[in-house]
Structure 1
Amino acid sequence: MRAPVVPASLDRPGLRSADGATLAAAFVVVLMLVPARLVFRGVPFSLTPADAVGLFAALWWFCAHLTTTLGAAKGPNPVRTALFAYAVAMLVTYGYAGAGYLPPDELNMADHGIVLVVATVGIGLGACDGIRGRERLDFVLKCLVVCGAAVGVIAALQFVLEFDLTKYLALPGFRFTAELPAILERNTLRRVAGTTGHPIELGVVCAMITPVALHYAFGARDRGEPSLRWWICSALIGAGLMFSVSRSAVLGIAVVGAVLLAGWPARRRLWAALGGAGFLVVMKVAVPGLLSVFLGLFTSLSSDSSIQYRTHDYAVAVTEIGNHPWVGRGLGTWYAPKHLIFDNQYILSLVETGIIGLVTFSGIFLTGLWAALRVRRLSADPAVRDLGLALAACLVVPLVGAATFDLRSFATVTGLSFLVIGAAGALLRGTRQPGKAVEKPVEKPGEEVSRPAARAGPPRNPRPDHAR
């Protein structure tokens, strides 16, 4: 019998079929490079291309768990459990809101909210169970760093030249939402959003990506590999953070520094301190007055109108929470301009999803953080331990940032957060089960262990590695 002819395009070394990591990388590219204000035309609610990829990831994950041939990981995983608990809590609050009376506009927003929950949970589950192996996880995270650097370039063009490249990234079949423009102003300086929905979101996103970029930069240097490209990416991401002119960005990078410095060796701390100081000097020379504006954001807290606006609506929040303390009034039903904006995701979660929703929302971040730190304890590989520390630093940023703005109202930072949570789960699984060695048969006294006869060729129906 003649062997089947393999096309030359499939016989090339290094060529592999698409998997969960491929889907996660596609999500990263769409999430970071397609403007967050660009949504599908003709859809009754705002749906971004990244949301569509997330919905496909949810469908892929569901189908993958019905078979053993699509490469999804099986077995218990704390990150998957936390994501499942969060999804169930959102379904409960959605059902509670729909069972009572809601104005048509709020009911439409609740429908929109549950669709977005499926998309974000889908990408988290897809990353957790679909990224198999350290090599594939590195592929996704390196893609994230490169895309973050590209966003930094777009933000630099907006800040320095007041040129908004996102206006020219419109795709056929899409439209821009009537949200805030990408270029705003604060204290005579521009503050820009890059491809995200708001400068605050840009700053938080850059703060989240920074520890991953530094992980690959320091890792390449320690292995004696070319590292300049990763340092350039780190600098561009840092520039995007600075050009956001955001207080939340400073808080985010501060907690990132605290986590990284606590886990890094002394030599790396010194290099990081010197590099950070040099970066600030370059920023001061290149953009006079920028550092002074950042300093003023914290020295004038008592007279800052944005701080006063964030705290004036607490009485309204207390009343709303008291009306529906456990499951809230419905996800997405508290929206502007109909209602006051709560620039605090924890308060907004209490209002919309109640205590159950707040606990599960916080729980997914805490579980992802625990998984990343657990990797540091289980692994003896310095590179894996450092990656666990980097992912932990990423997840601390949204935990802190959720107290300074309504995080779930912004698509880019929400999608990125769920992706990183899933990545932490994938890293934990790979660390716990790096690979099972083939056990040799044990011969008992007086018994002969049967061994299969040698074959002239490979088995007729070999199972792929991911199905073992």
Structure 2
Amino acid sequence: MMTTLAAGLATSSVTRGRMRADGASLAVLFALSLLLVPARLVLRGLPLSLTPADILSLLAGMSWVCATFTTTLGAAKGRTPVRTALFVYMTAMLATYGVASYGFLPADELKLADHALVLVMAGVGLALAVCDGVRGADRLDLVLKTVVVGGALISIIAAFQFVIDLDLTRYLVLPGLRYASEGGIVEARDSLRRVAATTGHPIEFGVLCSMLLPLAAHYGFQARERGEPALRWWLCTALIGMGLMFSVSRSAVLGVVVVSVILFSGWPGRRRVRALIVAAVFLALMKVLVPGLLGTIYGLFANFGTDNSVLYRTHDYAVAASEIAKHPWLGRGVGTWYAPKYQVFDNQYILTTVETGLIGVTAFAGVLLTGAYSGLRARYLSRDPGRRDLGLTLAACLIVPLVGSATFDLLSFATVTGVSFLLIGAAGSLLRMAVEERHGPEPPARPGEAPSGSSADHDA
């Protein structure tokens, strides 16, 4: 089933005639390398630790720069909320880097600041390439479907890690790569294994699954409404939900709760009922197949006040406040606060404020909020039911890293960071399409669908 699905994605990018590579092509390659290549593997022979996905995102950014100087490569032009937010974020990161490097920085911190700035440029470049280079609903769907399939595949890897303690990532080491860090990607919690699949940590994997779960469900619902084969997408949804459970992560559960609130606010009543029934059946199966798993996850919240991991996240506030007071506006330098030299902050907002100041943390939160806003704005402007539903879905996905940043240092983990920037660009691309659609003829209703101006459309 998964092989057939992957083949379908590959062939869907080829239409009648010959299609040249575009922003979607780079985004697909980026998504596959980000998700399927273990996060701890980096390229050999480089002064900085860069993954294949980092190189592809930098290439996407360079392609975007080149495309902005031409009118023949098909890249969109003009200002959008996502482009503006990314410009502000990049400017803030350059400012804090400039201030920090202008003064004295120890050699180790300066090297880390260089590395962090390169990663920021990679993320921003990828988001811009997707925002302006992915033109058309089919191309955007190709990118997002690739992300969903990649999430399902690494959930299978997580299942092997969780159920039989078999780490398949050992067989994914490609020539020319090396391990940037040692250490396992399987941890223990209450006699259960916590797994990370190809990501860097179980918390990261859980948050990633909570971001991808609504996307998988979106394509399942859309396929059903269009009369297309939907089983493949429901299989992806089940696999990603299974991976989320196997991460045994409090942050992942919080992400799912936030996603559910947003989606339920915009879904029609029948879809809400179906979703609740499916969720109940899924949890019942997990309780039978993996005894003790639901009890462990429940205990994460029942013992919230006495949990050591929670207490550890709050004991460092005094240290953070003292450091922030020294550099309140632009921080001490992006990437310069690291363990074991300094106190670990399991909170991205605190870490970002220490490193980039109040300006930097505002810009960081603003990028994610702008992506979510763009999704909701596209939902409002679009007259196509599928795009309206995708706008709501992307908004829900992008709220997850906003919440997750309060529970762990999200930007320290490459996979969830890369997917976040890709989805920000996707929301910008969807908004561009919605604006263009608003000024064009109304699309015809699909068979079995009500016209866009009917009460059924407002209920959706």
TM-score by length of 1: 0.90
1:19 maps to 22
Deviation at 1:45, TM superposition (A): 2.4
Alignment of 1:208-247 (within 5 A): 208-247=211-250
CA displacement at 1:13 relative to structure 2: 2.5
Q: Give yes or no for contact 1:180–1:197 (8 Å, CA) kept in 2.
A: no
Please give the alpha-carbon distance, in whole angstroms, between the structure 2 residues aligned to 1:311 and 1:51.
32
Identity of aligned residues (%): 62
Number of paired residues?
428
Matches within 5 A, 1:129-278: 129-278=132-281
Q: Distance in 1 between matches of 2:154 and 2:424?
A: 21
Partner of 1:459: none
Give the letter aligned to residue 97 of structure 1: A
Mapped to 2, the partners of 1:39 and 1:355 lie a distance apart of 32
CA deviation after TM superposition for structure 1 residue 236, in Å: 0.3
* 1:156, distance to aligned residue in structure 2 (A): 0.3
> Which residue of the partner structure matches residue 403 of structure 1?
406
Alignment match of 1:121 (pick from 89, 104, 124): 124
CA distance in 1, matches of 2:375, 2:111: 37
Query: Equivalent residue for 1:341?
Result: 344
What's the counterpart of residue 4 of structure 2? Answer: none
2:114 pairs, out of 107, 111, 114, with 111
Read off the aligned partner of 2:105 and give its amino acid letter.
Answer: L
Q: Judging changes above 3 Å, is the alpha-carbon distance between structure 1 residues 407 and 437 closer, same or farther for their aligned structure 2 residues?
A: closer
Q: Is the 8 A contact 1:93 1:328 kept in 2?
A: yes
**Counterpart check, 1:420 vs 2:423:** yes
Cα distance in 2 for residues equivalent to 1:435 and 1:176: 49
TM-score by length of 2: 0.91
C-alpha distance in structure 1 between counterparts of 2:254 and 2:18, whole Å: 42
Q: 1 CA distance for matches of 2:180 and 2:57?
A: 20
Which of residues 38, 49, 63 is equivalent to 1:46? 49
Query: In the aligned structure 2, how far is the partner of 1:33 from the partner of 1:14?
Result: 30
Unaligned runs of 5+ in 1: 1-10, 439-468
* Aligned-residue CA RMSD (Å): 1.3
Q: Distance in 2 between matches of 1:216 and 1:435?
A: 23
The Cα of 1:14 is off from its aligned counterpart by 5.1
Partner secondary structure for residue 305 of structure 2:
helix
Q: CA–CA distance in 2 between the matches of 1:306 and 1:284?
A: 25
State the distance in 2 between where 1:302 and 1:82 align: 37
Match of 2:449 in 1: none
Deviates more, 1:221-230 or 1:389-398: 221-230
Q: What are structure 2's unaligned runs of at least 5 residues?
A: 1-13, 442-460
Q: Does 1:387 align with 2:403?
A: no
1:124–1:418 Cα contact (<8 Å) kept: yes
| Alpha-carbon offset, residue 112 of structure 1 | 0.5
- Aligned to 1:433, the other structure's residue is in SS state helix
Does the Cα contact within 8 Å between 2:334 and 2:356 map onto a contact in 1?
Answer: yes
Asked if structure 2 preserves the Cα contact closer than 8 Å seen for 1:200 and 1:246, the reply is yes
The question of whether the paired residues in 2 share the 8 Å contact of 1:152 and 1:194 is answered with yes
Cα deviation per residue 1:115-168 (whole Å; 9 max; x = unaligned)?
001100011001100000111101111111111100110000110111111111
Larger radius of gyration: 1
Question: Is the 8 Å Cα contact of residues 180 and 198 (structure 1) preserved in structure 2?
Answer: no
**Judging changes above 3 Å, is the alpha-carbon distance between structure 1 residues 267 and 320 closer, same or farther for their aligned structure 2 residues?**
same
> For residues 15 and 93 of structure 2, what CA distance do their matches in structure 1 show?
46
SS at match of 1:184: strand
- 2:80 maps to 1:77: yes
The code of the aligned residue for 1:236 comes to L
Secondary structure in 2 aligned to 1:303?
Answer: coil
Deviation at 1:226, TM superposition (A): 1.3
* Cα distance, 1:435 vs structure 2: 8.3
1:210-232 deviations in Å (ceiling 9; x for gaps): 11101000111112221110000
